A = this chain, B = another copy of it.
């Protein structure tokens, strides 16, 4: 296994990131997203759920929390320069890699014309959050059928839509031998700001994000950088 840096993404022009909840993208790969946006990459962000059970006390209603989190997502997306965000409205805490979710995601591969996918590693045995596994599984499973014209052919009637044309897949949130380490120190303030935009989750701002800073620093150490985000290349065909 050869380790790479951000040059692993040099062919990326249109990137789709499939996550489970608002704030997944920002905390896991917000730095690398910011770097790619600077280089002119169009980034499309997909959250499978509204993140509407993400509360420490049970008094807020789920729709009220959803409204808040949709607004936080938009604010963070503006900071990172994301082209467009999508929310698939699936149930938080009960995301399932169903055929319906697969079709929703395949539709966005076809709609965005993305050439590259980032998503959760569905095979990482250390993944404790079932929604993360489900999001990654559905995103991976949508890769191949999205390229076939007889799969959900009604989707192909939309204007400007084309067959799926993903060429590269990378997993994040994995310790299964990550092989891309991106030094994100140059954009760390941007990453932090985008994360802090999710005030419902990080009520004390940067102080609520110490765990992330530690994780990013640990990963940085492996390449001698102040902080880093990591990915795993997946061979697709």
Contacts and interface: CB of A to CB of B under 8 A. Distances in A.
B93 A148 contact: yes
A37 interface: no
A130 B144 contact: yes
Contacts of A176: 125
A7 interface: no
> Interface SS of chain A: helix, strand, loop or mixed?
loop
B158 A58 contact: no
Interface stretch (A75-83, A149-157, A194-202): A149-157
Interface stretch (A9-17, A49-57, A178-186): A49-57
A126 interface: yes
Interface string A34-65: 00000000000000001011111110111111
A91 to B, nearest CB: 9
A3 interface: no
Contacts of A107: 154
Contacts of A153: 58
Contact of A58 (B66, B94, B149): B149
B58 A52 contact: no
A151 B89 CA distance: 12
A126 B62 contact: no
B128 A236 contact: yes
Contact of A67 (B54, B64, B157, B234): B64
Interface string A134-156: 00000011011100111101101
25 contacts: A50-B63, A52-B63, A57-B149, A58-B150, A58-B153, A62-B63, A62-B150, A63-B64, A63-B66, A63-B70, A64-B67, A67-B67, A93-B151, A94-B99, A107-B154, A123-B125, A126-B235, A128-B143, A128-B144, A128-B236, A130-B140, A130-B141, A130-B145, A157-B158, A159-B159
